Chains A and B, each alone.
Chain A
Amino acid sequence: MLVFIPKIVAFCCEQSGVPAAEMAETLKLSVPANLEIVPVPCAGRTETLFLLKALERGADGVIVFACHEENCQYLIGNMRAKSRLLYAQNLLQKIGLEKERLEICNIATNSGVKFAETLKDKAIRLKELGPNPLTRINDPLAHANVGIKE
């Protein structure tokens, strides 16, 4: 039976999100199948445009893994990422997309379990939300995220 496996794009700060992802892999923790990890040198490198482009090009959800607040190697990169995400969420609401598709998670280097659990939770929430309507409209017969066997 075909099921909807949400496509998730995860922007991962190389100081926290990436080591947490590696930790999850080392611990052999399962993460959602349709996941694309995009390493960034700092969460603050994640431009608002990156968040929108991910959705425009078919992601069902986007998450930014950033360092904990007041713990950014570049001082306020994580806060910048948070501000941009809020700005993008506001934009999404105005154009008719659910803001819940975008979110940020503050994480530490050794939080492999939190990394995997957060992604699993996000996948569940995205399943409830349904596929990105833009993908359905652009290519209704070949939804990239429908058809993967769970």
Chain B
Amino acid sequence: MIKAEQKPIEEILTYLDPYKKILLSGCGACVTVCHAGGEKEVSLLASSLKMARNLTGKPLEIQEITPARQCEPEFAEELAEKAEGVEAVLSLSCGVGVQTLARSLTKTPVIPGVNTVFMGETVSHGVWEERCQACGNCLLERTGGVCPIARCSKQLLNGPCGGSSKGKCEIRQETDCAWQLIYDRLKSLGQLDKLREVIPAKNWGTESRDKGPRRIVREDLKI
């Protein structure tokens, strides 16, 4: 899932400085899971912002809402209706949700309240780690389900660099060497022979952002 972190409150307060009445919108999907922008975080941020603005003598009126998802046009349109009468919307959804909502709100600014950081998994309570960089051509079948693009600091495709030591990465000691993980995994699967196949260099030009934002089109689903 997409992982995000709330922006520093000082930064958010700077963005909100010109406004007196805002809609604070969370998102019930990814940012709820990583505790950056769910219903709870909306309430917490609203309370903090109200107190901060009261202390400076510039009260801020905040309406709170957390739709199931903000990145779908249907939900964004519903949100846009709720935003009538407010001067700005502070969105705690990921960058996708902010843009979907901005498209529905032509005359109201939509301000991001979180930094969208990566696609990752929950390692333990309160700890999330990157697992996918959406490179556009998945290699996981050949690497035992461990992604060298997202998890190797150098994005190496055919084995570790010389800096791999005792299963750890030279870039950061607490980080597992992705290629050690790949080796261990393939060994336990009895598929070490896969390491003999050379993975060709990725064609970042065509597999990734060759022509600006990528787009998926399913003709069978189009209306």
User: Given A49-B43, A52-B48: A91 and B9 within 8 A (CB)?
Assistant: yes
Residues of B within 8 A of A149 (CB): none
Residues of B within 8 A of A96 (CB): 52, 55-56
Residues of A within 8 A of B55 (CB): 95-97, 133-134, 137
Since A52-B47, A52-B51, A137-B55 are in contact, a sample of 16 more A-B pairs with Cβ atoms closer than 8 Å, ordered by chain A residue number, is A47-B40, A48-B44, A49-B43, A52-B44, A52-B48, A53-B47, A56-B50, A56-B51, A91-B48, A94-B48, A94-B52, A95-B9, A95-B55, A96-B56, A137-B54, A138-B54
Main secondary structure of the interface of A (DSSP, over half): helix
Per-residue 0/1 for B16-58: is the Cβ within 8 Å of any A Cβ (1 yes, 0 no)?
0000000000000000000000001001100110111011110
Q: Which residues of chain A have a CB within 8 Å of any CB of chain B?
A: 47-49, 52-53, 55-56, 91, 94-97, 133-134, 137-138
Number of interface residues of B (CB under 8 A): 15
Q: Are A94 and B47 in contact (CB under 8 A)?
A: no
Whole-angstrom CA separation of A137 from B52 in the bound complex = 12
User: Given A94-B10, A95-B9: A134 and B51 within 8 A (CB)?
Assistant: yes
A137 to chain B minimum Cβ distance, whole angstroms, is 5
| B40 and chain A: residue at smallest CB distance | A49
Whole-angstrom CA separation of A3 from B51 in the bound complex = 25
Residues of A within 8 A of B44 (CB): 48-49, 52
| A90 and chain B: residue at smallest CB distance | B9
Whole-angstrom CA separation of A56 from B55 in the bound complex = 11
- From B40, B43, B52, A95 is in contact (CB under 8 Å) with B52
Between-chain CB contacts (< 8 Å), 19 pairs: A48-B44, A49-B44, A49-B47, A52-B51, A53-B47, A55-B51, A56-B47, A56-B50, A91-B48, A94-B10, A94-B48, A94-B52, A95-B55, A96-B52, A96-B56, A97-B51, A134-B55, A137-B54, A137-B55
Whole-angstrom CA separation of A137 from B47 in the bound complex = 16
User: Given A91-B9, A94-B9: A134 and B54 within 8 A (CB)?
Assistant: yes
Whole-angstrom CA separation of A95 from B49 in the bound complex = 8
Residues of B within 8 A of A138 (CB): 54
Whole-angstrom CA separation of A113 from B201 in the bound complex = 71
Most chain A C-beta atoms within 10 Å of own C-beta, residue among B47, B50, B51, B57: B51
Residues of B within 8 A of A48 (CB): 44
Residues of A within 8 A of B52 (CB): 94-96
Whole-angstrom CA separation of A27 from B154 in the bound complex = 67
B50 to chain A minimum Cβ distance, whole angstroms, is 6
Whole-angstrom CA separation of A149 from B173 in the bound complex = 61
B14 to chain A minimum Cβ distance, whole angstroms, is 12
A87 to chain B minimum Cβ distance, whole angstroms, is 9
Residues of A within 8 A of B54 (CB): 134, 137-138
Whole-angstrom CA separation of A8 from B50 in the bound complex = 21
* B window 35-93: CB within 8 A of A: 40, 43-44, 47-48, 50-52, 54-57
